[in-house]
Structure 1
Amino acid sequence: MAFFQAALDTKEAPYPYQTRLATESWPELLDIPTGLGKTAAVVLAWLYKRRNADPGTPRRLVYCLPMRVLVEQTHDNIVDWLKRLNCFADTAEGKGISVHRLMGGEADARSWVEYPEKDMILIGTQDMLLSRALMRGYGMSRYRWPIDFALLHNDALWVFDEIQLMGAGLPASTQLEAFRRRTDMPGGAKSLWVSATLNRQWFNSIDLRPHLDSLQSLTLSEQEKQGQAVSKRREAVKPLRQAEAMLDAETRKGGAKAYLDALTENILEAHSGDAPTLVILNNVQRCQGLYEKLAKQLKGQTNAPELLLVHSRFRQAERT
């Protein structure tokens, strides 16, 4: 408990499932609702087991994600946790746990292979990681393919997170796991698939099918579901309603100024302050205009809510 609290800088006790993940043998499936700390559970369970010399825990944690933004977010969180536990290493040769990002445009795609004896965490997009696991690594010399291939199939715990977004990467991951089981790799490699909407039939690929019924799943117990912290998230009310402000011929005049003024008032009245408020419009220009009006109204207020503007027009740097 103290280990988990120190890593997350919290006084809250870990959820029981997080404790079970750290103290019991690794499952293949982690089926836990959103908002209950799955990433922290997996990473800290791996670290706890490595610290306690658990023979069933590989030295390399390979965290595979479907999108770049998830890689960046996960990387930053893990680095923070390791620093709080005083076990973070800036480089693979350092003393501690090094963290390496593998995604397009990153320079750190090679240093980790030079220290195969070190405990480390690899975080990457599925294209970068799965291509290496298939010995066809993107953005690297073909003469290095066998090295990455060997290290990713030996002494490695593969964690596939947000698998509902993986597309063709998901059956590829199940086939790789089936091949490892068939060949009985001497170094030991495991797979853990993580999702809040997990469906066992997703793993019904041709070669993993014989193992489908034996895949162990870790889920919330009925007692955990009734706990206050868990039920608050699982049963949270998310009301949806149409704004009173209407866009018509009259309110559309002058760049829809009257409409945006009325909508701004609707939003500020509806926002409770203890939960996010999502506002959805179908026009980028009006979305930008609403953001500006809300920012003007909230300027200078104490404890003003944070405003985030999300739309389909990106800057050039964000398109790469």
Structure 2
Amino acid sequence: MATVTETLTTPPNPTTHGTTTDTNTNPSDSYHAALDALNRDGFVVLPASLFPSFDLPTLRAAAARLTTSARSGEWPYIRTLPKQFPPWPQDPSNGIWGVQHLLHPSNPDHLTFAKSYFDAELLKYVAVLVGCSEDELTMELYNMLVRPEKEFSLRWHRDDIPASATPDEEMERLAKPGWHAQWNLALYDDASLVVVPGSHRRARTETERAAEPYEPNMPGQLVVQLKAGEVAFYNNNILHRGVYDPTKERMTLHGSIGSSKGSEDRARNVLQHGVGEWVGQYDFGAFEPEMAERAGRMRERLVEMGRRSGDVGFYSKDE
């Protein structure tokens, strides 16, 4: 199955994992074409041309600086091998596969990352994909996935449904709105995300349930091939895993934005990362006025989520 893009007029090539682009497509159609693809396949890849404000050289330079700090132990917010879920030990000596909290006010480059996270065009796509108005969008997470120093992979999983769930429990959760959008913005070509298209709409098959956690050839799996600057939105409850090649540079910005309609359902997934510990300190004074206004509103909805939710615990603390 191909990844599907913003275009409505050009059908995707079923033999590729890339995108199909029609620059003459009505811009308003592109949002709903992306939504149709996300609903059908569980993911959609959008070309870099849709986000002209993304400055890849500047983002790469900022990402490199923060990754260097993370590998050296100067930046404590990291995802460390071999642990898959938070909380992660802050000791990078065994290697890292992610850098947390790109928007933290102590990051000298937080404004560079914020410009891509609060980008007006990105937020238009997010609102359509979530199914809410832009006035309901809620700040959530902005992290980065990086090249580990040795071979590493994540097990097959759904982000918000445990592997122990029965088919009925899976379907009960999958039937509920997700109330968020999750995406990967590749700063370098990236082929680390592996998905089973369509699995976000059904319970796991018997084969999937019986498969080894790191099964390399799950039936129907597809490697999402991203070119630098492309954005992959995906349903976080699609059956998926990550496979990371230590020989290839990887700096992929990994974000999520939610809706105030689903704050109770999203609380654990978001707050378990510790964003509530610093988001109240965030100063939007260096932003352009329009961006500062929408970012401030999104931040306040996140603060309110934390205020109402209290201690939410962890999805899988020991894994």
Higher relative contact order (CA 8 A, sep 6+): 2
> Which TM class, normalised by the smaller chain length?
under 0.3
Question: TM-score, with normalisation over the residues of structure 1?
Answer: 0.21
Question: TM-score, with normalisation over the residues of structure 2?
Answer: 0.21
Q: Which has the larger radius of gyration?
A: 1
Greater helix fraction, Structure 1 or Structure 2: 1
